[in-house]
């Protein structure tokens, strides 16, 4: 499965940099999250070579899970207010997100 990006600019940033974090928007397309990307770049030490990392992020306060595409493994050392689990494929990450959502719904 190859994710859809919300614009060609977002696709270009994912493919060429700068490294950052992408999350799904309300239309189900990946969008560059500039605020979280800035924070990740401030909290982690570069350089930030490009490599697509499929992640399950779980907010520490709400326990709400979400998928994120992080485009450098150097940005995953310090993830801030989330816990992170890394998966080899987007499908595995999305399945993990759904499992975690079911856990949240059952509380």
17 belongs to a structural domain: yes
pLDDT tens profile 34-76: 999 999 999 999 999 999 999 999 999 999 999 999 999 999 9
How far apart (Å, rounded) are the C-alpha atoms in residues 10 and 39?
18
2 belongs to a structural domain: no
pLDDT at 1 over 70: no
For residues 49 and 74, the answer to whether their CB atoms sit within 8 Å is yes
3 belongs to a structural domain: no
Q: Say what the pLDDT of residue 84 is.
A: 97
Among the listed residues 38, 30, 24, the one whose alpha carbon sits nearest the alpha carbon of residue 9: 30
Domain range enclosing 63: 8-106
In the chain, pLDDT over 70 holds for what percent of residues? 99
DSSP string, 26-73: TTS-EEE-HHHHHHHHHHS-S------EEEEEEETTT--EEEEEES-G
47 belongs to a structural domain: yes
Average pLDDT of the chain? 95
* Number of domains, the chain: 1
Q: Say what the pLDDT of residue 80 is.
A: 87
pTM (two decimals): 0.93
Instruction: Indicate the DSSP class of residue 76.
Output: G
Q: Which residues of 11-24 are buried (b: 16+ CB within 10 A; e: fewer)?
A: bebbeeeebbbbbb
1 belongs to a structural domain: no
Q: What angle do CA 58, 60, 65 make, to 5 degrees?
A: 20
Strand-pair category, 82-87 with 53-59: antiparallel
Q: Say what the pLDDT of residue 14 is.
A: 96
């Amino acid at each position: 499965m190859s994710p859809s990006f919300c614009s060609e600019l977002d696709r270009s940033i994912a493919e060429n940099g700068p490294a950052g974090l992408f999350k799904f928007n309300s239309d189900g397309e990946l969008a560059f999250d500039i605020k979280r990307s800035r924070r990740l770049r401030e909290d982690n030490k570069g350089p930030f070579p490009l490599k697509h990392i499929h992640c399950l992020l779980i907010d520490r306060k709400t326990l709400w899970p979400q998928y994120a595409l992080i485009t450098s493994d150097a940005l995953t050392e310090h993830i801030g207010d989330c816990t992170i689990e890394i998966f080899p494929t987007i499908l595995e990450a999305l399945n993990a997100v759904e499992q975690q959502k079911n856990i949240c719904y059952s509380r």
